[in-house]
Amino acid sequence: NAGVTQTPKFRILKIGQSMTLQCTQDMNHNYMYWYRQDPGMGLKLIYYSVGAGITDKGEVPNGYNVSRSTTEDFPLRLELAAPSQTSVYFCASSYSEKETQYFGPGTRLLVL
């Protein structure tokens, strides 16, 4: 199993540009999450999904959108990139809401 994979690993965006961060898991987990981690800080939940077709907002959803058309994929969309969105983005998945979360390697995003 590859676990949780994320692409790209690193991206530089100009202010106002848009992009999609990809996340795929091969563990057949129902739950998937997107977090952002600012330098030296913990994790903040952006969006999560409890299954295909179901998504919900986390702590910091503004400026982001998600979709979950399949169990495996959970892309995160930034429509109008802002410098405040410079961060490292982690995707994670779990069997249920209380079980171990398995994290991807992260996408480092720089908005200039």
Residues that bind another protein (CB under 8 A): 4, 31, 35, 40-43, 45, 48, 90, 92, 94, 97-98, 100-101, 103-106
> CA-CA distance, 65 to 101, in Å (whole number)?
21
> CA-CA distance, 86 to 84, in Å (whole number)?
5
CB of 80 to another protein, least distance (A): 27
Position 102, amino acid: Y
DSSP 14: -
> CA-CA distance, 85 to 112, in Å (whole number)?
10
Residue 112's Cβ-count burial label (10 Å; 0-12, 13-18, 19+) is exposed
CB of 16 to another protein, least distance (A): 28
CB of 85 to another protein, least distance (A): 19
Question: Closest CB to another protein among 71 and 103?
Answer: 103
Q: Are the C-beta atoms of 19 and 108 separated by less than 8 Å? A: no
CB of 79 to another protein, least distance (A): 25
Question: Closest CB to another protein among 74 and 90?
Answer: 90
Question: Closest CB to another protein among 79 and 99?
Answer: 99
Question: Closest CB to another protein among 32 and 78?
Answer: 32
